Amino acid sequence: MTTIINLTDKTVKIMRNDGTGAILPPCGVVAYIPASYKRLTTKDGIEYLTAGYGTVQGIPAPDEGIVYFVEYEVWERVMLKRSDVVTYGEKIFDKHGNYLYCRGVTYNGKV
C-alpha cells in the first residue's frame, strides 16, 4: 500500500475511481521554491519586480511506499527527477469557483 504525504499548506481531497474520497491533511512541512525579488520600477504606487527562483526545498528523500503530494509549481520543477512526487489531478470546483476535490493525481513515473 502507498502512503501519500501532503507537503502543501492546505487539506487536499482526492476522489478515487470507486467514488470514495481520500482526505490528505497538511503534514506540517511545506515543499516550496524560494524566490528573491528585485524592484525594476514603480508605476502608480505598484512595484514591478523581477524574480529569481532557487531549488525546491522541503521534499524528503525518496522512501519506499511513500508518495509526496506538492503544489503544481513544485511538482513541475521535480517531475523529471522524482517519480515519488505527485500533484493535483483534474480539479473539480463548485458553481462559485470553490475547490471541492481533485480527480486522481498527476505524476511522472511509476507509483
* Contact predicate 71/8, CB 8 Å: yes
Q: Return the beta strands (E) in the chain as ranges.
A: 3-6, 12-15, 21-24, 35-43, 46-53, 66-69, 85-93, 99-106
CA distance 21 to 108: 22
Kindly report, residue by residue over 7-65, the tens digit of the pLDDT: 999 999 999 889 889 999 999 999 999 999 999 999 999 999 999 999 999 999 999 99
The mean per-residue pLDDT over the stretch 73-100 comes to 94
The mean per-residue pLDDT over the stretch 95-105 comes to 94
pLDDT of residue 110: 58
The single-letter DSSP state of residue 54 is -
Cα–Cα nearest to 4, from 85, 53, 70, 68: 68
The model's pTM? 0.86
